[in-house]
Amino acid sequence: MTELWYGGELSASDVERYLGRIGLEDSDGSLTTLHRAHVRNVPFENLDIPLGRPVRLDVPSLFDKIVVRRRGGYCFELNALYAALLEQLGHTVSRRLGRVRMRDQV
């Protein structure tokens, strides 16, 4: 049910709205400031998954969900949109994939 698509960029007005969503109308752009604001203002939530709703990972869908509708998201959603924000602010982003496994499944 997950659409693995990461395409899209944030426009300058999207960046302004995103910064407003995390409470940084005026930001120094530092990673520490951005990270703290994001963690404090955008909650982890995975309600779409148990409700059987499709999970979209493209930037426009994530922006709508997290910024426009002021919802949270699960790790892939939060990290994908946050990476898009960082890139638009001039930071270099290296994406990594991780997985949690139970010890007996290794």
- Confidence band for 29, pLDDT divided at 50, 70 and 90: confident
Determine if the pTM surpasses 0.85: no
Residues whose CB falls within 8 Å of the CB of residue 19, separated by 6 or more in sequence, listed in order:
25, 27
What is the spatial distance between Cα 62 and Cα 78, in angstroms, rounded to a whole number?
A: 8
How many angstroms separate the Cα of 97 from the Cα of each of 51, 83, 86?
25, 13, 18
Q: CA-CA-CA-CA torsion for 41, 57, 18, 65, nearest 10 degrees?
A: -70
Q: How far apart are the first and last CA of the chain?
A: 25
- Confidence band for 3, pLDDT divided at 50, 70 and 90: very low
3-state DSSP of 48-102 = CCCCCCCEECCHHHHHHHHHHCCCCECHHHHHHHHHHHHHHCCCCCCCCCCCCCC
- Confidence band for 51, pLDDT divided at 50, 70 and 90: very high
Per-residue pLDDT, 99: 78
pLDDT (mean) for 44-71: 94
Average pLDDT, the chain: 88
